[in-house]
Amino acid sequence: MAALEQSSRVAAAPRRERPTPQVPVVELRHVTKRYEGGDVGLDDCSLAISRGEFVFIVGHSGSGKSTLMRLLMKETEPTEGIVRVAGRDLRDIGRRKVPYYRRNIGMVFQDFKLLPNRTVYDNVAYALQVTGSSRREIRTKVPDILRLTGLSTKLHNYPDQLSGGEQQRVAIARAFVNHPPLLLADEPTGNLDPETSIGIMQLLYRINRTGSTVIVATHDVAMVDKMRRRVIELQRGRVVRDQAAARYSGGEPNTAELGAILKEHLEL
Amino acid sequence: MKLGFFLKEALRSMRRNPIPSFAAMASVLVTLLVLGVFIPVVQATTGAANEVRDKVALEVYLKPDVTDAQIQRVRDRLVNETEHVESVRFVSKEEAYKRESKRNPEAYELLGSNPLPDSFRITPDDPDNIQAIRNALAPMTPSGERTVVDPAIDEVKNRKEETDKILTATHVVKLAMGVLCGLLIVASALLVSNTIRLSLFSRRREVEVMKLVGATDSFIRWPFVLEGVILGCLGGVLAILLLAVGKIAFVDPLAEDFALISAPETMSLPLLALLLMLAAIVVSALGSGLSLRRFLKV
User: DSSP string spanning B25-85?
Assistant: HHHHHHHHHHHHHHHHHHHHHHHHHHHHHHT--EEEEEPTT--HHHHHHHHHIIIII-TTE
Higher pLDDT, B202 or B60: B60
Residue A255 pLDDT grade (very low, low, confident, very high; cuts 50, 70, 90):
low
Distance, CA of B276 to CA of B188 (rounded, Å): 12
B292 CA: distance to closest CA in chain A (Å)? 16
pTM metric for this prediction? 0.69
Per-residue pLDDT, A268: 58
Task: Grade residue A13 by pLDDT with cuts at 50, 70 and 90.
Answer: very low
Is pLDDT at B84 greater than 90 in this prediction? no
The domain segmentation of chain B, as residue ranges, is: 2-52+167-296, 58-157
Neighbour count for residue B175 (Cβ, 10 Å): 10
Nearest-angstrom CA–CA distance, A77 and A95: 11
* Chain A neighbors of B209, CB-CB under 8 A: 113-115
User: Cβ separation of B210 and A103 shorter than 8 Å?
Assistant: no
Would you call A126 an interface residue with chain B, using a CB distance cutoff of 8 Å? yes
Amino acid B16: pLDDT = 84
Quote the CA–CA distance of B213 and A178 in Å, as a whole number. Answer: 10
Measured torsion, CA atoms of residues A153, A155, A161, A163, in degrees rounded to the nearest 10: 60
Indicate if the pLDDT at residue A114 is higher than 90. yes
> pLDDT-derived band of residue A15, with 50, 70 and 90 as boundaries?
very low
Q: Do B212 and A174 touch (CB under 8 A)?
A: no
Q: How far is CA B222 from the centre of its chain?
A: 37
Whether residues B215 and A174 touch (CB distance < 8 A) is answered with no
Interface test with A, best of B11, B202, B210, B213 (most A CBs within 10 A): B213
Please give the residue that has the higher pLDDT: either A107 or A246.
A107
Q: Is the torsion defined by CA of A189, A194, A200, A204 positive or negative?
A: positive
pLDDT band at residue A252 using 50, 70 and 90 as cut-offs = low
Closest CA of chain A from B239, distance in Å:
30
The three-state secondary structure class of A189 is coil
A103 and B206: CB-CB below 8 Å?
A: no
SS3 A74: coil
Q: How many whole angstroms from its chain centre is CA B43? A: 4
- Provide the pLDDT for residue A80: 92
B29-56 pLDDT tens trace: 988 888 888 888 887 777 777 777 777 7
Buried b (16+ CB within 10 A) or exposed e, A44-83: ebbbbbbbebbbbbbbeeebbbbbbbbbbbbbeebeebeb
Q: Do A117 and B13 touch (CB under 8 A)?
A: yes
d(CA A75, CA A105): 13
- A2 pLDDT more than 50: no
- Higher-pLDDT residue of B4, A251: B4
Mean pLDDT for all residues in chain B: 81
Neighbouring residues of B258: CB distance < 8 A, sequence distance ≥ 6:
none
- In this prediction, residue A10 has a pLDDT band, given cuts at 50, 70 and 90, of very low
Say whether B214 and A103 touch across the interface (CB within 8 A).
Answer: yes
For the ranges A9-18, A43-52, B258-267, which has the lowest average pLDDT? A9-18
Mean pLDDT of B240-250: 88
Kindly state whether A102 is in contact with chain B, defined as any CB-CB distance less than 8 angstroms. Answer: yes
Task: Choose the mutation target among A117, A124, A136, A178 for the interface with B, i.e. most B CBs under 10 Å.
Answer: A117
The answer, yes or no, to whether residue B207 has pLDDT greater than 80, is yes
Does A94 reach chain B within 8 Å, measured CB to CB? no
Q: Least CB-CB distance to A113: which of B1, B16, B212?
A: B212
Gap between the Cα atoms of B216 and B86, Å rounded:
63
Q: Do the beta carbons of residue B12 and residue A136 sit within 8 Å?
A: no
The distance of B296 to chain A (nearest Cα, Å) reads 11
Higher pLDDT, A41 or B136: A41
Whether residue B297 lies within 8 A of chain A, CB to CB, comes out as no
Indicate the residue of B12, B16, B212 with minimum beta-carbon distance to A102. Answer: B212
pLDDT tier for residue B257 given thresholds of 50, 70 and 90: low
In chain A, at which residue ranges do the beta strands (DSSP E only) sit? 24-34, 40-50, 54-58, 80-85, 88-89, 105-108, 182-186, 213-217, 230-235, 238-243
Quote the CA–CA distance of A1 and B59 in Å, as a whole number: 102
Measure the CA–CA gap between A223 and A216, rounded to whole angstroms. 11
User: Given an 8 Å threshold on Cβ–Cβ distance, is B214 in contact with A102?
Assistant: yes
Distance CA(B7)–CA(B12), nearest Å, equals 8
Q: State how far residue A130 is from chain B, nearest Cα, in angstroms.
A: 5
Cβ–Cβ under 8 Å, residues B236 and B32: yes
Comparing A187 with B98, the larger pLDDT belongs to A187
Residue B208 to chain A, least CA–CA distance (Å): 9
pLDDT class of A168 with cuts at 50, 70, 90: very high
Model confidence at B241, pLDDT cuts 50, 70, 90, reads very high
Q: Which residues of A touch B211 (CB under 8 A)?
A: 99, 102
What does the pLDDT average to over B99-128?
80
Between A and B, how many residue pairs show a Cβ–Cβ distance under 8 A?
A: 51
Name the β-bridge partners of A186: A217
Among residues B36, B44, B15, B6, which one has the least CA distance to residue B235? B36
Output the CA angle A212-A25-A166, nearest 5 degrees: 35
Residue B161 binned pLDDT confidence (cut-offs 50, 70, 90) = low
The pLDDT confidence band at residue B188, using thresholds 50, 70 and 90, is: confident
- Chain A contact for B11 (CB, 8 A cutoff): no
Q: Tell me which amino acid residue B184 is.
A: L
Query: Mean pLDDT, to the nearest integer, of B214-220?
Result: 89
> Taking CB atoms and an 8 Å limit, are A113 and B211 in contact across chains?
no
Largest CA distance in chain B: 101
**Considering chain B, what percentage of its residues have pLDDT values greater than 90?**
3
The predicted pLDDT at position B258 comes to: 61
> Which of A74, A101, A115, A183 best probes binding to B when mutated, by most B CB atoms within 10 angstroms?
A115
The dihedral sign for the CA sequence B230, B235, B241, B244: negative
Nearest CA in chain A to B17: A117
What class, spelled out in words, does domain B58-157 have in CATH?
A: alpha beta
Complex ipTM = 0.78
CB contact under 8 A, B213 and A130: yes
pLDDT band, residue A1 (cuts 50/70/90): very low
Strand boundaries in B77-130, DSSP class E: 85-91, 119-124
Tens digits of per-residue pLDDT, A28-82? 999 999 998 888 889 999 999 999 999 999 988 888 999 999 999 998 999 999 9
**Cβ within 8 Å of residue B197, ≥6 positions away:** B287, B291
Q: What is the pLDDT averaged over residues A92-99?
A: 90
Q: Which residues of A touch B13 (CB under 8 A)?
A: 117
* Beta-strand relationship, A213-217 and B58-62: unpaired
Model confidence at B261: pLDDT above 60: no
pLDDT score, position A208: 94
A-chain residue closest to B298, CA distance: A75
Closest Cα partner for A172 from A107, A102, A121?
A107
Residue B298: the pLDDT is 54
Query: Residue B74: what pLDDT?
Result: 83
Query: Tell me, what's the pLDDT at A160?
Result: 93
Q: Which residue has the higher pLDDT, A182 or B57?
A: A182
Which residue has better confidence, A2 or B185?
B185
Q: What percent of chain A has pLDDT over 90?
A: 57
Contacts of B137 (CB under 8 A, 6+ apart): B60, B78, B82, B148, B149, B153, B156
For residues B199 and B186, give the distance between their C-alpha atoms in angstroms, rounded to a whole number: 20
With pLDDT > 70 as the criterion, what percentage of chain A qualifies? 87
| Residues B277 and B239 sit within 8 Å (Cβ to Cβ) | no
B169 touches chain A (CB under 8 A): no
What is the pLDDT confidence band of residue A12, given thresholds at 50, 70 and 90?
very low
| C-alpha to C-alpha distances, A137 to A45, A178, B124, nearest whole angstrom | 41, 11, 77
Residue A249 has pLDDT above 80, yes or no: no
Dist CA A16 CA A227 (whole Å): 19
